[in-house]
Structure 1
């Protein structure tokens, strides 16, 4: 649509000037990022109406906030400082061009508000219309000192399983309104040896299993130590599931999942507070995912949020 391609893009370029800037940003066929001698860390995520949100039930600005948040959460999990974002939107066709422009502007404003909050440049992207649902895509660029990124593959036997906050019940609002753990990482990076890290996007049990697979080890979760949110308790009162089941499988918590040596727990908690470094199990040489309740250990079937179903 002509108005989206011209008037919206012109407005978007002006709006982005209030954010931090890259060497060459919106307005050319590609952006130019100044070389810094650091490792460049790149992630990408997509959100779709009917899968990650329901457009008729949520303020489009909150969708923009979420899109930035999920990307920055991935960079936080890698201990990378975010520098720039690239936004692409596939907007649903409307009989009135003004409605399409308004939707684009509200999402874009949400993205800009989040980018401004975290001090990140919005460096480019693309906008199209089609006869389908709203689909958003973002690529985020970060940087980290050479060889100092965190990965999923370093967990070791006897490491502690640590999470940065309570889990479960995100469907009641947290999946839209969360804070990626960038400040947490800034406090810890370079001071504590984090053996492995990832963000919890699909659920504690399935994401922990992914970390175990990458690290060639297993894990035992202490079910009575898994922190669950008030929202998980609220859901449990109506759906018959235990709060810990929500913590294990609801997904979209966007807390960090970490492997930390036992001797580093106290220094870690001194930096971030005990409520943001919660121990809920131990990594083991025995492969697979296990749960302990009291003296009994059972194999645990991983469960998580499956996008697109």
Structure 2
């Protein structure tokens, strides 16, 4: 199965960016870009992150690429190449691999990422897709969770909540927006929203030693959160606050830079939701008092 599938894969990858030595050798040879190497990896598993009986396998493949691209965007980096490992159920392994790769290749072409290599194996277990993504960023300028400063503006891209209605399979990694912001402003800290807006923001604040004063009314609630609320009995705000897998970005920067970003061509994708403060934790103002909010989301 492996040799014939690799021959198919080499043909399908001809239109993608290439590394010096890619699929078919013992290891890939990748010529490093100038700057610092950025690497991330994520695994998604049937029955946990998607359900093969309900979801197209191409969507699962696309998701596996997109969630790594979201991590790359959160570092302010550019993705260049990917290593793909599939652990396949023994039954219909070749067919499953082909369907998964259709989604992987779609994302690779959309975001111009080379497929440098990987591995295939079969076993008595569920489909598992693991992708390691390699990219680069100027030395010393990666966006970290730990860089937020007191009185930073806190911004979020897109709209949040209700991703389980389908967006979790086809997230839009904000790589283009990250590249535009890098040229426009100085981002102090960033994180992508994988486990929930409030939970991931709390992680950024903890890493930076700051807190946030929320303008809760400004949180951009996705229409899917409103639809989901009708089914669950929870409020749209609760879904926006705690639903995971939005794969949007949370960013902090000076207020002057935030004003510039919001007024720029990318402003329609950005919303300011608060500012950082010296008191750690998540807070909202009620009159003259700050009331503490509890972060919620998916805990691994």
- TM above 0.5: yes
Identify the residue that residue 254 of structure 1 maps to in structure 2. Answer: 247
Residues 160-218 of structure 1 deviation map (CA, whole Å, 9 limit, x = unaligned): 11001110000001111221111101211132011111111110111011101110111
SS at match of 1:190: helix
Identify the residue that residue 162 of structure 1 maps to in structure 2. Answer: 155
The root-mean-square deviation of aligned C-alpha atoms, in Å, is 1.4
- Among candidates 27, 36, 48, match of residue 24 of structure 2: 27
**Would you say the 8 A contact 2:157–2:269 is kept in 1?**
yes
Identify the residue that residue 12 of structure 2 maps to in structure 1. Answer: 15
Counterpart CA distance in 1 for 2:168 and 2:288 is: 35
**Would you say the 8 A contact 1:249–1:302 is kept in 2?**
yes
Identify the residue that residue 56 of structure 2 maps to in structure 1. Answer: 59
**Would you say the 8 A contact 2:187–2:253 is kept in 1?**
yes
Residue 297 (structure 1) aligned with residue 294 (structure 2): no
Residues 60-104 of structure 1 deviation map (CA, whole Å, 9 limit, x = unaligned): 11111111100011001111111001100001121xxxx221110
Pairwise CA distance, 1:10: 2.1
Counterpart CA distance in 2 for 1:306 and 1:48 is: 17
Identify the residue that residue 244 of structure 1 maps to in structure 2. Answer: 237
Between 1:6-15 and 1:184-193, the stretch displaced more is 6-15
- State the TM-score, normalizing by the size of structure 2: 0.96
Pairwise CA distance, 1:271: 2.5
Structure 1's consecutive aligned runs of 4 or more residues displaced over 6 angstroms after TM superposition are none
1:164-243 mapped onto 2 (5 Å cutoff): 164-243=157-236
Pairwise CA distance, 1:293: 5.3
The change in CA–CA distance for 1:245 and 1:294 in structure 2 (over 3 A counts) is farther
Structure 1 segments unaligned to the other structure (5+ residues):
none
Pairwise CA distance, 1:294: 5.9
Identify the residue that residue 43 of structure 1 maps to in structure 2. Answer: 40
SS at match of 1:194: coil
Counterpart CA distance in 2 for 1:114 and 1:294 is: 47
Counterpart CA distance in 1 for 2:246 and 2:97 is: 26
Counterpart CA distance in 1 for 2:59 and 2:236 is: 26
Pairwise CA distance, 1:292: 3.5
**Would you say the 8 A contact 1:19–1:116 is kept in 2?**
yes
Q: For this pair of structures, how many residues does the alignment match?
A: 300
Residue 86 (structure 1) aligned with residue 79 (structure 2): no
Counterpart CA distance in 2 for 1:265 and 1:286 is: 21
Counterpart CA distance in 2 for 1:200 and 1:212 is: 14
- State the TM-score, normalizing by the size of structure 1: 0.93
Structure 2 segments unaligned to the other structure (5+ residues):
none
